[in-house]
Structure 1
Amino acid sequence: MPIYYLDTSALLKYYIQEPGTDFMVELLESNAARDQFLTSTFALLELSSAIFRRFHVQTARDIQLRFDEDTGVRFNFWPLDMVVLSYAVASVRDFRLRTGDMVHLSSALTIVAINNNIGDSFMVSSYKELLNAAASTDLIALDPQAPDSLDLINQLRSSGQ
Structure 2
Amino acid sequence: MDLEEEEEEDDDDDRVIDLDSWLIGLDEHSCLLSSDLTFVGLLGLRSQMRSGIEEAVRSCEEAGVKVRVFTGEQVDGGKLAAETCSLLQDGSIVTAAEWRRLSDQERAAIAPSVRVMTGASSEEKAELVRCLQERGEVVGSSCQHLDDLRVREQA
| TM-score normalised over the length of structure 2 | 0.41
Which protein shows a greater Rg?
A: 2
Which structure has the highest helix share of the two?
Answer: 1
Higher relative contact order (CA 8 A, sep 6+): 1
